């Protein structure tokens, strides 16, 4: 995470940039300097999860009561000294960082394999050196902090950018996290969470100014240094040969410096003594071996520029009539669209020329004025020739048609227009970077402008960028809110002319009112994955503690997929009639055997809701009391449990949601037995009477690998409940399936071991008679609902040999076959169900 080698360099070579500070003293100084302003710390929550998770046990599925208590203590400590905390969570993975995300997930898979090997060998939890955060920790931490009354926000892009931007714009006391990118951003001070002593509120402040002093650089040089060293956008190997050339010419190498430290010093020396000589005179591609990675490099540089900032390293000579003159110099407001349009200056006419932004390539497109019609005509710039390409208007369709130039004939070639989306799309390939560049025009195109939300003012900031440097600048907008998702399969080439390609856009969701509601819930961290599905049609789920060698238990990614497919059908409302024509949702779900080279393409699955599937406007916006019944009907339909509505309605809170989840699990997975059900119910009932201290002192006799998997499986089911409840308009209270209310890892492990040994139910319930009645009621609800699906839950002694590796059921539960699972014969070993880009829909499961 962050800049490659920089953390080690700071620790070993430049420890003087780390200063011990005290938050209480800093807060007092801030209040005296800014009277009436509350000292605020922006917290990168994703960096803090390991610090916050202090419970000793982590292998059994999570000690959620203990964790919630630790979070409460953390918040109280800062509140007591008058410091306000703002928590940011990653809301999505940016495409530029997907490769790095995949790399880390695959590394986690190897760590998980070692964990299970250790468990089977020693029957105990591994040491903290093998610590792996419990499944769902990031998701449930959001809700825990909100329960504690904290302002919690979910990002619309990479969280570190929004954290740095918020800290700068709101004059915050500093940023609390563990990411060297915060040394690169020109923002407020950066404090280390790993060095924080909560009792004294002492920690380490990493000073970027002192870093620059040590390296002979200025703060504006740090983004360049970060990209040359490698970060989450620029692969470390891209400039490896360049770094070693710098190292070979660096004459001040000291023997006590480590190799990586020498590289940081050598690259910094090259920037200060060589590149600075040509700053402002030559482009970076003339000074560095960018080659085909030019566009990616500029993108990496620009990722560190916060709204309103500029880089002295971005330079462009005026080669055509319209130039950006290195920087957008003014803003104008379009009164009709209420969208600010960045203006660049024509150096010859001295007139300001409005710019429009390509939302995918993030390039700005100059607008010139047609002297006859006096209408603005968008201009797109050829990255090679730097010439503007005019957009002509089709007199019949009244749509603008881009004009591409054939390099052979030098003639302008009109480009096609997508008839359905009413959007002109011009696409060509940059011969240097080999990257596709797509230009969009047309006022009524259903294309989202990338936005960054100010969580305080709730204003949307469109990120307008320099066509070459991709520099982000704020432009307020609230006019167009129609989102597009590119279908990678629909692509055709214009072979008659210059090899230009036309990409037809597929609209995921076009209802702007619903999208704004989804977006608001997302930003306020009140939902999970809903906005991602509706906007980009792409979601991800990180690693789960699953044993790749255990063929009897399926991965949670497969078990809960039918639920997600029904949710897709609900959220993508135009897909409810004919699921086969609906675009697939891209799922980046980690499971054993999935190399993550491509996402799984998963199509929506139609569901049956009594009375018909209600619209999202009905579920989300209608406040009539009777609509709550429709919300619950829709939620149960997502689990395909409409027939068990009456039984579930009779269950008291918070066990209603848990029973729903258990019914679904036992219907789906044949290898779950009666002893498992007893353990799940007994731990939930006993948890209600346990204090946090009692749970801390609880110690299972030993660790069982199957129980470890079941604990993680149930927690992933609780995150799935969060998704479904959000999509259906919150028919249930979120607190009913927060794990600190219904699940404890060690307690479940204890009950599992007891149940496996054949202990009586009374022993599982700790001889509590009141729990015994509830236990039998909950068990009856689950068993009765399963019998409706021809699923009889039996004890382990009744198992036949066919249970060894089979998990799909055959019979009347046709919904399971409809979800895409092949259940013929003895079923298929789930580990062999193919990863990658295969599309998952009806009867599409095949052996990989």
The answer to whether the beta carbons of residues 659 and 742 sit under 8 Å apart is no
Dihedral angle sign, alpha carbons of residues 382, 386, 389, 390: positive
The answer to whether the beta carbons of residues 581 and 604 sit under 8 Å apart is no
Q: Please name which of 177, 259, 269 lies closest in space to residue 8, comparing C-alpha atoms.
A: 259
**840: confidence class by pLDDT, cuts 50, 70, 90:** low
Which is more confident, 360 or 262? 262
User: Which range, 410-414, 436-440, 456-460, 692-696, has the best average confidence (pLDDT)?
Assistant: 692-696
Which is more confident, 173 or 324? 173
The string over 698-718, giving b where at least 16 C-beta atoms fall within 10 Å of a residue's C-beta and e elsewhere, is bebeebbbbbbbbbbbbbbbb
The answer to whether the beta carbons of residues 848 and 822 sit under 8 Å apart is no
The answer to whether the beta carbons of residues 596 and 104 sit under 8 Å apart is no
Give the number of residues written for the chain: 848
**802: confidence class by pLDDT, cuts 50, 70, 90:** very low
Q: Is the pLDDT of residue 331 over 50?
A: no
**8: confidence class by pLDDT, cuts 50, 70, 90:** confident
Q: Is the pLDDT of residue 380 over 60?
A: no
Which is more confident, 80 or 393? 80
Query: Residues with Cβ < 8 Å from 650, sequence gap 6 or more?
Result: 781
| pLDDT tens for each residue of 85-128 | 999 999 999 888 899 999 999 999 999 999 999 999 999 999 99
Q: How far is CA 470 from CA 92, 263, 281, 319, in A?
A: 20, 27, 19, 18
Helix ranges (H only) for 318-431 are none
The answer to whether the beta carbons of residues 242 and 224 sit under 8 Å apart is no
Mean pLDDT of 299-305: 93
Per the DSSP assignment, residues forming a β-bridge with 423 are 418
CA 54 to CA 60: how far, in whole Å? 14
Average pLDDT of the chain is: 77
- pLDDT recorded at residue 551: 87
| pLDDT tens for each residue of 810-820 | 333 333 333 33
**152: confidence class by pLDDT, cuts 50, 70, 90:** very high
Q: Is the pLDDT of residue 842 over 50?
A: no
CA 49 to CA 342: how far, in whole Å? 39
**1: confidence class by pLDDT, cuts 50, 70, 90:** low
Q: Is the pLDDT of residue 772 over 50?
A: yes
Widest pairwise Cα distance in the chain: 90
**253: confidence class by pLDDT, cuts 50, 70, 90:** low
- pLDDT recorded at residue 178: 95
| pLDDT tens for each residue of 383-431 | 334 344 444 444 344 444 444 444 344 444 334 333 333 333 333 334 3
| pLDDT tens for each residue of 516-555 | 999 999 999 999 999 999 999 999 999 999 999 998 999 9
The full DSSP string for 799-837 is: --GGGSS-----SS-HHHHHTT---STT---GGGB--SS
The answer to whether the beta carbons of residues 569 and 576 sit under 8 Å apart is yes
**251: confidence class by pLDDT, cuts 50, 70, 90:** low
Query: Residues with Cβ < 8 Å from 19, sequence gap 6 or more?
Result: 204, 205, 207
Mean pLDDT of 207-232: 93
- pLDDT recorded at residue 261: 67
Mean pLDDT of 603-616: 92
Per the DSSP assignment, residues forming a β-bridge with 84 are 40
CA 382 to CA 390: how far, in whole Å? 11
Mean pLDDT of 754-762: 95
The answer to whether the beta carbons of residues 544 and 480 sit under 8 Å apart is no
Per the DSSP assignment, residues forming a β-bridge with 190 are 175, 206
CA 764 to CA 682: how far, in whole Å? 6
Q: State both tokens at 194.
A: 């790993």
CA 713 to CA 135: how far, in whole Å? 9
What percentage of the chain has pLDDT greater than the value 90?
A: 57
- pLDDT recorded at residue 31: 95
**460: confidence class by pLDDT, cuts 50, 70, 90:** very low
Q: Is the pLDDT of residue 296 over 70?
A: yes
């Amino acid at each position: 995470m962050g800049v490659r080698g920089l953390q080690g360099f700071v620790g070993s070579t430049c420890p003087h940039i780390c200063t011990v500070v005290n938050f209480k003293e800093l807060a007092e100084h801030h209040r005296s300097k800014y009277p009436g302003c509350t000292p605020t710390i922006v917290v990168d929550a994703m960096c803090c999860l390991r610090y916050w998770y202090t419970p000793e046990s982590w292998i059994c599925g999570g000690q959620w009561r203990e964790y919630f208590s630790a979070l409460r203590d953390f918040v109280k400590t800062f509140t007591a000294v008058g410091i306000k905390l703002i928590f940011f969570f990653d809301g999505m993975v940016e495409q530029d960082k997907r490769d790095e995300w995949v790399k880390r997930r695959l590394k986690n898979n190897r760590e998980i394999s070692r964990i299970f090997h250790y468990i089977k060998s020693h029957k105990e939890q591994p040491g903290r050196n093998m610590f792996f955060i419990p499944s769902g920790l990031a998701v449930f931490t959001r809700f825990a902090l909100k329960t504690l009354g904290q302002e919690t926000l979910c990002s619309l892009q990479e969280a570190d950018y929004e954290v740095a931007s918020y800290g700068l714009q709101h004059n915050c006391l500093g940023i609390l996290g563990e990411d060297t990118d915060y040394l690169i951003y020109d923002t407020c001070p950066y404090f280390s969470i790993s060095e924080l002593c909560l009792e004294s509120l002492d920690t380490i402040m990493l000073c970027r100014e002192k870093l620059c002093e040590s390296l002979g650089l200025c703060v504006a040089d740090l983004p360049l240094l970060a990209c040359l060293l490698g970060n989450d956008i620029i692969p470390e190997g891209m400039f490896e040969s360049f770094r070693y050339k710098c190292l070979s010419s660096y004459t001040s190498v000291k023997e006590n410096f480590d190799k990586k430290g020498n590289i940081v010093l050598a690259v910094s020396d090259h920037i200060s003594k060589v590149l600075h000589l040509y700053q402002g005179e030559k482009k970076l591609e003339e000074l560095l071996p960018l080659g085909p990675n030019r566009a990616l490099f500029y993108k990496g540089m620009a990722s560190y520029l916060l709204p309103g900032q500029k880089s002295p390293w971005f330079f462009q000579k005026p080669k055509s009539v319209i130039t950006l003159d290195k920087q957008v110099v003014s803003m104008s407001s379009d009164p009709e669209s209420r969208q600010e349009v960045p203006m660049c200056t024509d150096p010859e006419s001295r007139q300001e020329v409005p710019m429009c932004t390509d939302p995918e390539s993030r390039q700005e497109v100059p607008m010139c004025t047609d002297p006859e019609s006096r209408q603005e005509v968008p201009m797109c710039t050829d990255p090679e020739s730097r010439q503007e390409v005019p957009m002509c208007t089709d007199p019949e369709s009244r749509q603008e048609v881009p004009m591409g130039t054939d390099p052979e004939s030098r003639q302008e070639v009109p480009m096609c227009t997508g008839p359905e989306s009413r959007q002109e799309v011009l696409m060509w390939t940059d011969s240097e970077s080999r990257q596709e560049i797509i230009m969009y025009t047309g006022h009524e195109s259903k294309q989202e402008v990338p936005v960054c939300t100010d969580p305080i003012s709730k204003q949307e900031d469109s990120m307008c960028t320099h066509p070459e440097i991709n520099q982000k600048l704020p432009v307020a907008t609230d006019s167009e809110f129609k989102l597009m998702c590119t279908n990678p399969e629909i692509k055709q080439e214009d072979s008659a002319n210059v090899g230009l390609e036309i990409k037809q856009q597929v609209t995921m969701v076009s209802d702007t009112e619903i999208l704004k509601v989804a977006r608001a819930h997302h930003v306020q961290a009140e939902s999970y994955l809903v906005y991602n599905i509706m906007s980009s049609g792409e979601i991800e789920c990180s690693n789960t503690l699953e044993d790749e060698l255990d063929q009897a238990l399926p991965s949670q990614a497969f078990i809960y997929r039918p639920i997600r497919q029904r949710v897709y059908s609900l959220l993508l409302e135009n897909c409810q009639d004919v699921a086969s024509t609906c675009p697939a949702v891209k799922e980046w779900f980690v499971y054993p055997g999935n190399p993550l080279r491509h996402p799984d393409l998963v199509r929506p699955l139609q569901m049956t809701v009594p009375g018909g599937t209600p619209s999202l406007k009905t579920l989300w916006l209608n406040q009539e009391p009777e609509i709550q019944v429709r919300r619950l009907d829709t939620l149960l339909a997502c689990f395909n449990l409409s027939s068990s509505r009456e039984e579930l309605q009779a269950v008291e809170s918070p066990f209603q949601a848990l029973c729903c989840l258990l019914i679904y699990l036992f219907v789906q997975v044949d290898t779950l037995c009666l002893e498992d059900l007893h353990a799940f119910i007994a731990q939930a009932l006993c948890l209600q009477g346990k204090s946090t201290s009692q749970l801390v002192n609880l110690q299972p006799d030993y660790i069982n690998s199957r129980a470890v998997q079941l604990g993680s499986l149930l927690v992933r089911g609780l995150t799935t409940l969060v998704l479904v409840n959000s999509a259906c308009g919150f028919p249930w209270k979120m607190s009913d399936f927060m794990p600190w209310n219904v699940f404890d890892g060690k307690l479940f492990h204890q009950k599992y071991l007891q149940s496996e040994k054949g202990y009586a139910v009374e022993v599982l319930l700790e001889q509590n008679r009141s729990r015994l009645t509830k236990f039998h009621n909950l068990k009856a609800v689950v068993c009765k609902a399963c019998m409706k699906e021809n699923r009889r839950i039996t004890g382990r002694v009744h198992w036949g040999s066919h249970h060894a590796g089979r998990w799909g059921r055959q019979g009347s539960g046709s919904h399971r076959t409809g979800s895409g699972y092949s259940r013929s014969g003895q079923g298929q070993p789930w580990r062999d169900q193919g990863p990658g880009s295969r599309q998952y829909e009806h009867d599409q499961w095949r052996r990989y």
